[in-house]
Amino acid sequence: MFAKVIVDISNTNVDKLFSYSVPENLKAAPGQRVLVPFGRGNKPIEGFIIELTEESGTSFQTKPIIKTLEPYTALLPDQLALAGWITKAYHCTRADALRCMIPAKLRGSRVREKTVRTLRISPELDPAETRASMLKKDGTAKAPKQLEVFDLLNSPEAEYSASDINAFILGATAAIAALVKKGVLVEANREYFRDPFTGHEADPTEPLPLLPEQKNALDAINGLEKGSVLLLHGVTGSGKTEVYMQAIAQVLESGGGAIVLVPEISLTPQTTDRFRGRFGDSVAVLHSHLSDGERFDEWRRIRLGKARVVVGARSAVFAPVEDLGLIVIDEEHEPSYLSEITPKYSAVEVAQRRAKLTGARLILGSATPSLTSYYRAKRGVYKLAEMPERINGVPMPHVDIVDMRREFLGGNNSIFSALLLEKLKNCFEKGEQAILFLNRRGYSSHAECKACGFVFTCPNCDVAMTYHKINSELRCHYCGASFDMPKKCPNCGSEFIKYSGIGTQQVEEQLYQAFPGIRVLRMDTDTTRGKTAHRDILDAFTAGEADVLVGTQMVAKGLDIPNVTLVGVVFADSTLFHTDYRSSERTFQLLTQVAGRAGRAEKEGCVVIQTNAPHHRAIELCTKHDYKSFFKLEIGDRMRTLFPPFSVFIRAMFVSENEQTAAESAGRYAEGITEKLFAVLEKDKAEKELVYVMPGAAPIRRREGEYRYAVIIKLARTVHTAGAIASVYEFSDTFNDDCFRGVEINPQEML
């Protein structure tokens, strides 16, 4: 027997199948991780068995596999197939694709199964008799410590580790040893799963009777063909999660498993508790705040079938769930479903592929679906179910727009409009809570000399530094550089510095000034660095320990706090005028999401959006909760300008310390790729007109000390785009240039 193995080295030179012989007594299967001798020195290297064959398929002498790394296959058959697809679709090595499927620390055995040595009373003894034998004639203990230990363990379930016993009974070590020696206690090795939920129970819940629209949605899910997709377009609070849970329950009943993806940021205890409350211990969670041990053990619980429902962030789409029946992607429009590292995959695309491979059904849920998804649903590529109403007739919050330019002309120079101040006051008087959202952390986004106009920019990047008042420092949000705020302008020596653009720190400070005695919590990347910081802030806010929560988009998602009746968007335009073709879509999504945090229960909610662009479509239609109109207008623009979904957008990056070098490389690439694409599309003259190749400086021209140039390739979506993409990859592989940083399809940020 022979095995075709991919070695776990991410290098294109070894990115192929190698044949090994399988020793007689070795149990090997596709998907199993193995140790194999590799290279001239026969160095042991980890690898994955892809298939077993009768023939070696090579004229060389094959070397034998050294050993298997786990007694089980780390990869399921569908995961092997998925990895193959990822390799092609995202142009990465097979090793990179396979690595997605396992916990990082499994490689190199950097994390291990944990067993604890436990102790219990020997099952061969009669407990009563044994206890009697431990007493003197007068009824007192012969050895008091030993008796104490015996009593602690004297029940059928009692099985504790020595350290647990020591925690109960001080200095019990000698007594334990003595009892083991006498044969009263026996030792056992118990497998132990590190539990990310320790000390945190979720209240059990029962399925709710569904409302008609939920019922329709569930029926639509049940009517889906295997491997196909349903877009569940439901406003915030329309009961999507309940629909997901009932769909999952059906899958579990028929013996299958399910994966639920939620954006990392909304993987709060609130979200996971809803699933744990319904499905108990069969829920596993996978997110970035787990320790390596916890992640490994959750992964193993899934692989070994102990957990059948996986709730996790982007990478949980790879979870080793057998008999996968359902994948749910909540808030499917979220950019966090796009991977920023190799392979740069989209979890939505991967889920679609995995559904096809396994026959699982895929639900994409959102209040504001990505334009691409909604477009597909409209065209019938996806099934569509809509839930336009909130549960129990809770009205959508009333949204007011405040034109901040008028506010300024009217003499209000503060960051809060009169309306927002009044609503905040009202809210606090009633003992209700508010959320203030601003998509920028720090104190202010620019520091500028009033005398000479000098702007404090990052020495490494082409961006203004953000002023953080708390430690009086300037910080670059792109490279992390920071230095103390100078007292004087480095250019002219003036002491008059103007701060403009607001950040969350300033909002917090101004709140204290406007409402003395108020309690404010702030949530942004500056305040959530610790492992539990995010959870702690949310817990405190939910428990009513603060009147206002101020934060960046972290506060926009997943929060469901009945006492929150007011949401203020301090400045809506901060995401609007980006160079990114998606900025309007993203602003609409973000605002809708933030607005959805208000008035989730009986108390009516209201929203105040402050802006300088009150008539921008993304803002105006958000106040009317009118996704459909927004979609119609926006998709029309995309069609006219040939942006996705009507084209594929590819970006090639060139980075160098020398600006000219980067620019020239980009130019060379642009020329070469144009020629190549035109050659590929030679047959079809019309198609050539649908290819655009544009070299130029990236919007942030210098970052971390290096100049950045890009070639943007836009390919209209036609029958030949797949071939065109393949030739872009092909050309890129052979484009020999030190500045070249590779190509990305539909990159998630254009900066």
Q: How far is the CB of 220 from ligand ADP (least distance, A)?
A: 15
CA 496 to chain centre: 43
First to last CA, the chain: 52
Q: How far is the C-alpha of 234 from the C-alpha of 389, rounded, in Å?
A: 8
Compute how many residues bind Zn ion; rule: CB under 5 A: 15
Tokens of 459: 């020495």
Residues in contact with Zn ion, shown as a per-residue x/- string from 406 to 445 under the rule CB under 5 A: ----------------------------------------
Indicate which single residue of 381, 418, 492, 726 sits in contact with Zn ion (rule: CB under 5 A).
492
Residue 240 lies near ligand ADP (rule: CB under 6 A)? yes
Whether residue 564 contacts residue 598, with contact meaning beta carbons closer than 8 Å, is answered with yes
The type of residue at 598 is A
Binding partner of 489, given ligand ADP, Zn ion, none, CB within 5-8 angstroms per partner class: Zn ion
Considering only CA atoms, which of 255, 231, 240, 224 is closest in space to residue 321?
255
Residue 700 lies near Zn ion (rule: CB under 5 A)? no
Q: Which residues contact 706 (CB under 8 A, 6 or more apart)?
A: 655, 656, 657, 662
Residue 461 lies near Zn ion (rule: CB under 5 A)? yes
Considering only CA atoms, which of 17, 24, 21, 81 is closest in space to residue 54?
21
Indicate which single residue of 451, 642, 697, 712 sits in contact with Zn ion (rule: CB under 5 A).
451
Binding partner of 249, given Zn ion, ligand ADP, none, CB within 5-8 angstroms per partner class: none
Residue 489 lies near Zn ion (rule: CB under 5 A)? yes
Whether residue 124 contacts residue 311, with contact meaning beta carbons closer than 8 Å, is answered with no
Indicate which single residue of 32, 79, 87, 238 sits in contact with ligand ADP (rule: CB under 6 A).
238
Q: How far is the C-alpha of 337 from the C-alpha of 313, rounded, in Å?
A: 8
Binding partner of 239, given ligand ADP, Zn ion, none, CB within 5-8 angstroms per partner class: ligand ADP
Residue placing its CB nearer to Zn ion in the complex, 428 or 478: 478
Binding partner of 478, given Zn ion, ligand ADP, none, CB within 5-8 angstroms per partner class: Zn ion
Tokens of 338: 């796009």
Segment near ligand ADP (CB under 6 A); pick from 210-218, 485-493, 602-610, 611-619: 210-218
Q: How far is the CB of 217 from ligand ADP (least distance, A)?
A: 10
Considering only CA atoms, which of 739, 736, 741, 746 is closest in space to residue 714?
746
Tokens of 279: 């499905």
CA-CA distances (angstroms) from residue 472 to 263, 443, 449, 478?
33, 10, 16, 19
Residue placing its CB nearer to Zn ion in the complex, 85 or 454: 454
Residues in contact with Zn ion, shown as a per-residue x/- string from 462 to 481 under the rule CB under 5 A: --------------x-xx-x
Q: How far is the CB of 530 from Zn ion (least distance, A)?
A: 24
The type of residue at 471 is N
Indicate which single residue of 242, 294, 432, 547 sits in contact with ligand ADP (rule: CB under 6 A).
242
Considering only CA atoms, which of 549, 78, 629 is closest in space to residue 357?
78
The strand pairing partners of 330, in sequence order, are 365
Indicate which single residue of 236, 268, 372, 542 sits in contact with ligand ADP (rule: CB under 6 A).
236
Residue 444 lies near ligand ADP (rule: CB under 6 A)? no
Residue placing its CB nearer to ligand ADP in the complex, 239 or 645: 239
Residue 246 lies near ligand ADP (rule: CB under 6 A)? no
204's torsion region: left (phi>0), alpha (psi -120 to 50) or beta? beta
- 142-171 residues near ligand ADP, rule: CB under 6 A: none
Q: How far is the CB of 458 from Zn ion (least distance, A)?
A: 3
Q: Are strands 18-21 and 63-64 parallel, antiparallel or unpaired?
A: parallel
Residue 348 lies near Zn ion (rule: CB under 5 A)? no
Residue 208 lies near ligand ADP (rule: CB under 6 A)? yes
Q: How far is the C-alpha of 232 from the C-alpha of 240, rounded, in Å?
A: 8
Indicate which single residue of 31, 239, 312, 551 sits in contact with ligand ADP (rule: CB under 6 A).
239
Q: How far is the C-alpha of 141 from the C-alpha of 253, rounded, in Å?
A: 54
Considering only CA atoms, which of 139, 132, 145, 141 is closest in space to residue 173?
145
Residue placing its CB nearer to ligand ADP in the complex, 387 or 447: 387
Binding partner of 240, given Zn ion, ligand ADP, none, CB within 5-8 angstroms per partner class: ligand ADP
Tokens of 181: 């020696």
Quick one: three-class SS letters along 314-339? HHHHHCCCCCEEEEEEECCCCHHHEC
Q: Alpha-carbon torsion 101, 105, 106, 111, what sign?
A: negative
Q: How far is the CB of 651 from ligand ADP (least distance, A)?
A: 34
Residue 452 lies near Zn ion (rule: CB under 5 A)? yes
Q: Is residue 54 packed enough to be buried (19+ CB in 10 Å), middle (13-18) or exposed (0-12)?
A: exposed
- 524-583 residues near ligand ADP, rule: CB under 6 A: 560
H-state helical runs in 479-562: 504-514, 533-542
H-state helical runs in 183-268: 212-222, 240-253
Residue placing its CB nearer to Zn ion in the complex, 193 or 709: 709
Indicate which single residue of 35, 69, 116, 210 sits in contact with ligand ADP (rule: CB under 6 A).
210
Indicate which single residue of 31, 47, 196, 234 sits in contact with ligand ADP (rule: CB under 6 A).
234
Indicate which single residue of 14, 180, 186, 391 sits in contact with ligand ADP (rule: CB under 6 A).
391
109's torsion region: left (phi>0), alpha (psi -120 to 50) or beta? left
Indicate which single residue of 103, 237, 263, 503 sits in contact with ligand ADP (rule: CB under 6 A).
237
CA 385 to chain centre: 25
The strand pairing partners of 520, in sequence order, are 548
Residue placing its CB nearer to Zn ion in the complex, 328 or 449: 449
Residues in the chain, total: 751
Residue placing its CB nearer to Zn ion in the complex, 21 or 460: 460
Whether residue 12 contacts residue 93, with contact meaning beta carbons closer than 8 Å, is answered with yes
Q: How far is the CB of 538 from ligand ADP (least distance, A)?
A: 16
Binding partner of 476, given Zn ion, ligand ADP, none, CB within 5-8 angstroms per partner class: Zn ion
Residue 241 lies near ligand ADP (rule: CB under 6 A)? yes
Q: To the nearest 10°, the Cα dihedral for 81, 85, 86, 92?
A: 110
Q: How far is the CB of 313 from ligand ADP (least distance, A)?
A: 17
Q: How far is the CB of 583 from ligand ADP (least distance, A)?
A: 25
Phi, psi of 25, rounded to the nearest 5 degrees: -95, 10
Binding partner of 653, given ligand ADP, Zn ion, none, CB within 5-8 angstroms per partner class: none
Q: How far is the CB of 264 from ligand ADP (least distance, A)?
A: 17
Q: How far is the CB of 270 from ligand ADP (least distance, A)?
A: 10
Q: How far is the CB of 285 from ligand ADP (least distance, A)?
A: 18
**Residues in touch with Zn ion (CB under 5 A):** 449, 451-452, 454, 458, 460-461, 476, 478-479, 481, 489, 491-492, 494
Site residues for ligand ADP per CB under 6 A: 208-211, 214, 234, 236-242, 391, 560
